[in-house]
Amino acid sequence: MEGYWQLLPELIVMGVAIAALFGELLPGKDRGTALLGAAASTAAAVVLLFWGTAEPLFGGMVVADETARFIRIAVALLTAVWLLWLSGRNMDGERRREAVALALFSSAGGMVLAMSADLIVLYMALELSTMPAYVLMGYKRKDIDGLEGALKYFLLSMLTSLVMLYGLSFIYGLSGTTAYSGISLAETGPLGIAAAALVMVGLFAKMSAAPFHYWAPDAYAGASAASVAFVSTVPKISGMAAVVRLVAVIAPGVSSFGILLGAGAVLSMVLGNLAALPQSDLRRLMAYSGVAHTGYLLLALTSGTQIGYGAVLFYVVAYAAPSMAIMLISAEEGPSLTDLAGLAARRPAIAWAMVVWLLSLIGIPPFAGFFGKLYLFGAAIEGGLVWQTVLAIVMSVVSAGYYFRVMREIFFGDVPESPMQVERSVSASTALALCVLATVAVGIGASPLMNALSFSFP
Amino acid sequence: MSLLTTIIFVPLVGAIVTAMLPKARTDLPKKVALGFGLVDLALAVVLLVRFDVGAVGMQFTERLNWIPEAGIQYFLGVDGISVPLLALSTLLTVLAILASWKIEKRTVLYFTMIQLLAVGMNGVFVALDFVLFYVFWELVLVPMYFLIAVWGGPRREYASIKFFLYTLFGSVFMLIGILALYLHPSGGTFDMIELAARGGSLPTNFQWWIFGAFFLGFAVKVPIFPFHTWLPDAHVEAPTAGSVLLAGIMLKMGTYGFVRVSLPMLPDAAASAFWTWTIGVLAAISIVYGAAVAFAQTDLKKLVAYSSVSHMGFVMLGIASGTVAGINGAVVVMVAHGIITGLMFLLVGMVYERTHTRKIADVSGLSSGVPVAGGLLAFAAIASLGLPGLAGFPGEFLTLLGAWQSDLAPGIVIVSALGVLFAAAYMLWMVQRVVLGEASPIVAKITDLNTREIVIVLPLVALTLGIGLYWSSLLRYVDPAVKAMLTGMGAI
């Protein structure tokens, strides 16, 4: 029984998720439900902050180490920020309480995913964190485009999940156990490579890495921007944590694994950045830029070092906060780039917050994205991936091209005759302010985070 | 509070205070910015006075652990090369604020950006940790982008984004160099002093490549031919204060990078025939090409912009020489060019404010219409062409001398020396067309400089004369630091 207490944060989140399904009966209705969800997520993070870590639980199926703690806190806090924002806004006119429940379910799944050290737990947690995401993406029930995007996402994601499951079954067959501690693909020959490749297909698709990224732009462009804000960030953090753990287990034995990851990295960086350049819908633009950022992450993953793994987890958090915030602004102002025109005059504080987030995504110091890229690229060079790193760095200059297009709209775009007036909302503004704070503090105050991820430069 | 930290962050406090001022009071931001700027300038003067000119090594050092897991420190210090540049940066910031007195569009934002720019510029010259250096290096891009993009000329959007992308492209290669040095077993630190000490132990082949990465980063900033195409666009579109700071300080960040990073940290590559020749030849081309293009300009501001390309070529020539005289000369040109070009851009800006044209043909005959402005412009032009007794002379003389003493082919030096002649030609021709002659209809209608404007340019005029007549006052700071650096490189 002792072990269950370590899952208290997940239990809090899960409990409130179930309560949120009955939001009609809660005080404050939808708004109260969202605030309650935010409070529960924050409480989960606070518990984690003070609770610390434990020995592996349930016979090693779940590990509650420092890395897991960091990722669980990040997932919980980002969910809290999203729910706080939601409490002041709505989901394109749809009622909110199901969105609150879905986000909390997904968040609980993500927190477990960060701790999984067993193939079964991995698969279950992965499904728990993505299943609510399908519904969130199709949240606008009457919108045909949204449903099409959601269906595409659902079908492709299920297909790749099954491919991954197929690969996992091979891994189980080859090593005779589902526990990470017992898995080794060393000296398994072609079958090991095939198993690793099948697993990677699944994970690439979930992470929207090229060449399995095609669902992302369509799904994002069909969905409500508020849904995209959640789905493109929170599950990505926990997913990346799972990828890191899994790769650390199966990569050492398979010689061609690095080539697979490296090819995915290069393809994602180039395709994502170049495809983002001409986009005029902010959701599509962020979808492609998400592919590019996954490419950078895979690059450090390819290095196969402790620094690389730590850098990946650091960067995914540094990426998630600003990109969630940008999608939230898109949800407030409208999905098209031109909807942002004149934002600087309408809402100057938001405009400057956008500048901070965009600069962070480009990798301009002193924001989090810069330090994230510093560690990523440092790890990649350390791992001997010199030309790939040069390519990554050149590609991040290309990314400045499209991020600046967004900035250009904000400051110099042609203001429409009657621009949309966004209502003031204290909770939404607070949520966005927290995103700015995270974007600044994660970079400058990187030291404790690097400690938690137990990575340091030589 | 330690002096260097205070000098860096006084403008940051100023920027924050300015940003919080009420929008309705459009007259307040400039006064606040000027106040903080003057405090910063005063602190820089204190630094100049308290600086021990004879001592070798870094002074006023401050060192704190910032991100120990990644070996990143908050490490500051100055030597004789950085002190004059830091002082110049604080001075030009004050003058840029004064020159912007009549800005009426979004003043809060404008003066916030100027002060943020000052944080980055000051920081670059005192940072001794590579990551910190890079942070300040990139910090200047953002405010300068906005200065050009919001308050610039008609093609400001194009010019600002071109400026940003070009310089970002250069600096990311610098980032690769920084990481590679850190990750190499013989490097292994972000401490720039330590890296300079360990520089010689790096394999030559490795140095050669890393020199190339840094070269891209710095050469775009300087800018050396053929990386200069962003400069004329940025200058022409930028508001006066932006041009002054861009030409006066930001270009020097590139050459400062060569002196602080490329030479001491990668001594074998810096001494290699390939890189000395590359830099030497490109420097000579920049000198002649910049001068030749300046000749052809009909736009007064573009002429000054291209003359900058030419003058920065002299700095690069001195750096390529690798001799005491050459590098002393390079640093002296950096300071002198900052002063003279700052003066020229200020005067061109003042004329433009009155005439709303920069066409040379339209603003002819300044001396008969507005004698003070005309006289000062002639003075700046003559200083720029390198007349002995004014600040433009000693640096270019020393760089040519150093280049002659070095292994660079005499042909490079002779071609570069011809550049001095060209500079005399295009500057005097400009003086003839703009300053002398009958006042054009536009010039006849304008008023001469007012007291505020004369106060702005007076310090630069005084410094031009002071450094020109008594350049050992500047070399007193620079020379020991340069000698120490070259000794560390094993070059002398």
Query: Using the beta-carbon criterion (under 8 Å), do A365 and B134 form an inter-chain contact?
Result: yes
Q: Is residue B25 part of a domain?
A: no
Please state the domain count of chain B.
Answer: 1
Residue A191 has what pLDDT? 86
> Span A294-298, mean pLDDT?
94
Name the 3-class secondary structure at A267: helix
In a domain, B428, yes or no: yes
Asked whether the beta carbons of B306 and B293 are under 8 A apart, the reply is yes
Q: Which residues contact A264 (CB under 8 A, 6 or more apart)?
A: A200, A204, A209, A210, A211, A295, A298
Other beta carbons within 10 angstroms of residue A357's beta carbon come to: 27
**CA separation for the pair B292, B290 (Å, rounded):** 6
pLDDT grade, residue A1 (50/70/90)? low
Percent of all residues in chain A with a pLDDT value above 70, rounded to a whole number: 98
**pLDDT of chain B along its 492 residues, tens only?**
689 999 999 999 999 999 988 888 888 899 999 999 999 999 999 999 999 887 888 889 999 999 888 889 999 999 999 999 999 999 999 999 999 888 888 888 999 999 999 999 999 999 999 999 999 999 999 999 999 998 888 888 889 999 999 999 999 999 999 999 998 888 888 999 988 888 888 898 999 999 999 999 999 998 898 899 999 899 889 998 999 999 999 999 999 999 999 999 998 898 888 999 999 999 999 999 999 999 889 888 999 999 999 999 999 999 999 899 999 999 999 999 999 999 999 999 998 888 888 888 888 888 888 889 889 999 999 999 988 889 989 999 999 999 999 888 889 999 999 988 899 999 999 999 888 888 888 888 888 888 888 999 999 999 999 999 998 889 999 999 999 998 888 777
Report how far residue A117's alpha carbon sits from residue A181's, in angstroms, rounded to the nearest whole number. Answer: 8
- The answer to whether position B367 is within a domain reads yes
Which residue in the set A382, A397, A451 is minimally distant from B169, CB to CB?
A397
Six-digit token string for B446: 């304008």
State whether B67 and A446 contact (CB < 8 Å): yes
Q: What is the pLDDT of residue B459?
A: 92
- Chain A residues interacting with chain B (CB cutoff of 8 angstroms): 355, 359, 362, 364-366, 370-371, 374-375, 377-378, 381-382, 389-390, 393-394, 396-397, 400-401, 404, 408, 411-412, 446-447, 450-451, 455-458
The torsion angle over the Cα atoms of residues A276, A282, A288 and A294, rounded to 10 degrees, is 130
Residue B312, in any domain of the structure: yes
Alpha-carbon distance values, B19 to A52, A187, A340, B389 (Å):
41, 63, 23, 43
B9 falls within a domain: no
Greatest C-alpha distance within chain A: 68
Rounded Cα distance between A331 and A352, Å, is 17
Nearest CA-CA distance, residue A70 and chain B, Å: 16
Closest chain A residue by Cα to residue B20? A349
Work out the mean pLDDT of chain A and round it to a whole number.
Answer: 88
Local confidence band at A458 (pLDDT 50, 70, 90 cut-offs): low
Write down the number of H helices and E strands in chain A. Answer: 19, 0
Contact A297, A253 (CB under 8 A): no
pLDDT for res A445: 85
Range of the domain at B492: 281-492
Classify residue B408: in a domain, yes or no. Answer: yes
The ranges assigned to domains in chain A are 304-458
Neighbours of B288 (CB within 10 A): 18
CA separation (Å) from A187 to A14, A173, A174, A250, A254? 42, 14, 10, 12, 8
What pLDDT does A443 receive?
A: 83
Determine, for residues A394 and B135 on separate chains, whether the beta-carbon distance falls below 8 Å.
no
Decide if B411 is inside a domain.
yes
Rounded CA-CA distance B148/B162 in Å is 11
Nearest to A359 among B70, B142, B182 (CB): B142
What's the confidence (pLDDT) of residue B469?
Answer: 92
| Structure ipTM | 0.91
* Displacement of CA B212 from its chain's centroid (Å): 22
Burial class of residue B53, CB neighbours in 10 A (0-12, 13-18, 19+): middle
Residue B66 to residue A447, Cβ atoms within 8 A = yes
- CA dist B174 and B352 (Å) reads 37
Q: Name every residue in B having a CB less than 8 A away from some CB of A.
A: 66-71, 131, 134-135, 138-139, 141-142, 149-150, 157, 161, 164-165, 168-169, 172-173, 175-176, 179-180, 182-183, 188
Beta strands in B15-110 (DSSP E): 59-67, 72-78
Of A107-121, A324-338, A444-458, give the lowest mean pLDDT range: A444-458
The whole-number average pLDDT for the span A94-103 is: 87
Residue A359 pLDDT > 80: yes
Could you tell me if residue B437 is inside a domain? yes
Question: Shortest CA distance to A244 belongs to which of A316, A149, A173, A188?
Answer: A316
A193-225 pLDDT, tens digit per residue, is 888 888 888 888 888 888 888 888 888 888 888
Nearest to B70 among A366, A394, A450 (CB): A450
pLDDT at A218: 86
DSSP state of B262: I
A360 — pLDDT class (breaks 50, 70, 90): very high
Out of B68, B168, B183, whose CB is closest to A378? B183
* Chain A to chain B Cβ contacts (< 8 Å): 81
Residue B242 CB neighbour total at 10 angstroms: 29
Residue carrying the six token digits 């900052």: B338
